[in-house]
Amino acid sequence: MSLNFYQALGKTETWPNLSQVSPASLTYDDVLLVPQTLTEVSSRKKTDVSVKFGPFVLKKPIVASPMDTVSGERMARLMYKLGGLAFMPRVFINEALTACRRLQKDKVEAVYSIGLKNAAADATQFKKLGIKVLLLDVAHGGMKNVVETAAEIQAKLKLTVIAGNIVSFDQAMSYKKAGLKIARVGVGGGGLCTTRLVAGTGFPQLSAVFETVSSGLEIIADGGIRKPADFSKAIAAGARVIMIGSMLAGTEEAPGEVEGGFKKARGQASEDYMKDNGSKLGEFRSAEGITTMVPYKGSAEWIINDLIGGLRSAMSYVGAKNIADFQKNAQFAMASPAAQGENVAHIIYNKK
């Protein structure tokens, strides 16, 4: 992971000891990656973006979010074909097991999601089908019950259990002490999420990656990815893989039908989702996500290629032949609001 921040005239400082800004305040737009000197990567084609992720070796460090308008069997097949991985959404157990059997028949690897309720029993069912990795899918991964349940299932069933979502070093260390290896990181930064507006709870996403990778866990950076640059910055900061959700909504492989050139996209904490899954809004529960219609985008393959192409380009600027080199050699520079404005193709602005 790179915690290296460029100041000026060759001088650097290391996160969290930053002189210009609070180390807990950083989002992807707050930084740029600094082009490096005398690099030796002559072509983006010579960059290796493969990573080891739990028991998997992925050709690309990308996973699809366990949202029911993003990941389904078609998305799982495409992600596996392209060298990534899909996280299947949490659904009724019989439905999930049926999908698992179909995918396994085609030898398609995926990560399957379970909830706290009936976690051990559901995990046992997946274990019988030969599944390697499960996600304990809970919004607040800092709960004691989440950590204990994940650790117990992992120990008893000899599975890799991913838990989350978390954002801080202390939360990550509680996972590490419990024997967990992988954490899903990010609260409130998703494109269909309103947790920060409803609960006032969250953490700037780039700082969350810095915080959690400092524990030594493998990190899934989940949320806040709006463009290829964000993807590259998250990998440079030390994330093992990047979870993509709303960017993949509306694609051909995402579940749902095309209606008038649009497909439905919804957060897993949206009112629409909760109504379909037996949860009631009221005094003790508010919706923390939205439902919308997004333009049909065609195949998700071009979005995945765009993200990975941006990563390869970033690696060439840094002079990194592989992800380990990228995370070792990358430098960040703070970007002022004016610099952020300079980032865009500004010929289309200031026409007065």
| Average pLDDT rounded to a whole number, residues 328-339 | 95
Q: Where does the pLDDT of residue 288 fall: very low under 50, low under 70, confident under 90, or very high at 90 and above? A: confident
What pLDDT band is residue 248 in, cutting at 50, 70 and 90? very high
- Domains belonging to the chain, first-starting first, are 41-315 (3.20.20.70)
pLDDT the model gives residue 1: 86
| pLDDT above 80 (res 351) | no
The predicted-structure confidence for 120-142, as pLDDT tens digits, reads as follows 999 999 999 999 999 999 999 99
pLDDT for 191 beyond 70 = yes
Beta carbons within 8 Å of 43's beta carbon, 6+ residues apart: 316
Mean per-residue pLDDT over the chain, rounded = 94
d(CA 292, CA 192) in angstroms, rounded, equals 9
pLDDT tens digits along 7-27:
999 999 999 999 989 999 999
Residue with tokens 């032949």: 321
Averaged pLDDT for residues 35-61:
95
pLDDT at 186: 97
- pTM for the model: 0.94
Give the Cα separation of 310 and 226 in Å (integer): 13
Q: Which residues contact 319 (CB under 8 A, 6 or more apart)?
A: 36, 38, 39, 40, 41, 325, 329
User: Does residue 346 register a pLDDT over 90?
Assistant: no
Taking residues 202-224, what's their average pLDDT? 97
Whole-number pLDDT of residue 205 = 98
Residue 39 pLDDT > 80: yes
Q: Kindly report, residue by residue over 265-277, the tens digit of the pLDDT.
A: 888 877 777 777 7
- Identify the pLDDT of residue 348: 65
Query: In residues, how long is the chain?
Result: 352
What mean pLDDT is predicted for residues 85-113?
96
User: Is the predicted pLDDT of residue 287 greater than 50, yes or no?
Assistant: yes
pLDDT for residue 349: 56
E-state strands within the chain? 4-8, 11-14, 31-33, 51-53, 56-58, 62-64, 85-88, 111-114, 133-136, 160-166, 182-185, 218-222, 241-244, 262-266, 291-295, 332-334
Residue 275: which of 283, 266, 95 has the closest Cα? 266
Residue 165: asked if its preceding bond is cis (omega within 30°), the reply is yes
| 38 alpha carbon, distance to own chain's centre | 32
User: Per-residue pLDDT averaged across 310-330, rounded?
Assistant: 97
pLDDT at 266: 87
pLDDT at 251 over 60: yes
Whether pLDDT at 352 is above 50: no
CA distances for 229 relative to 4, 225, 232, 310, 313, angstroms? 18, 8, 5, 7, 10
| Residue 44 Cα to chain centre, angstroms | 24
Residue 286's pLDDT band (cuts 50, 70, 90): confident
Of 243 and 292, the one with more pLDDT: 243
What pLDDT does 290 receive? 80
pLDDT at 177 over 70: yes
